[in-house]
Structure 1
């Protein structure tokens, strides 16, 4: 069945949207839609698996725990977040859908 990453996004988005697109073995592919959403201050994602993420539309800023500098992402930018890399979403555009494609790898 054909789908489109840019379709079926709710008009109202009170919380960030997480949607699993495919999962098999140790790999999960997820669509995330942010519209001004951030990770709460003081909270960090601290995963026991690797995550490769690409921002397909919009803009975002990721912060990292420790001395690593923040990263600003624009459409087309991607990066690998190795397991144990404590990070948070510090900013996403408030009036634009920032659409992420995340590949979680726990082999």
Structure 2
């Protein structure tokens, strides 16, 4: 048995991306952020759909089309494949834990 809230380091200089489960059709990933954001240049442009849930903390996602979504604890969004997006910010005062499900 595992716990999505366990094994969080005290110092997180770089975002942590960990696969929890990966099969041919689905990948479930835990992302741990601590005031992180996407690189200044470029967008995520994925070939998979991504359903993402904020379990703890807060994250702000910007879409290339100009839409901005602030996700707080319990909020989720489905990002269709090919939808360009990036993380503008995550909570600076607490760790943000995301659960991302990638599927085709």
Task: Bin the TM-score by the shorter chain.
Answer: over 0.9
TM-score, reference length from structure 1: 0.93
Residue in 2 that maps onto 1:57: 56
- Which ranges of 4 or more aligned residues in structure 1 deviate by more than 3 Å? none
- Corresponding residue SS for 2:86: strand
Q: Deviations 1:78-107 (Å, cap 9, x if unpaired)?
A: 01000001000001011211100000002x
| Cα distance in 2, alignment partners of residues 51 and 66 from structure 1 | 17
| Cα distance in 1, alignment partners of residues 41 and 74 from structure 2 | 28
Q: Equivalences for 1:1-107 in 2 at 5 Å? A: 2-67=1-66, 69-106=67-104
Cα offset, 1:42, TM superposition: 2.4
TM-score, reference length from structure 2: 0.96
C-alpha RMSD over aligned residues: 0.8
Q: Tell me the matched-pair count.
A: 104
Which blocks of at least 5 consecutive residues in structure 1 are unaligned? none
- Corresponding residue SS for 1:10: coil
Cα offset, 1:40, TM superposition: 1.2
Which blocks of at least 5 consecutive residues in structure 2 are unaligned? none
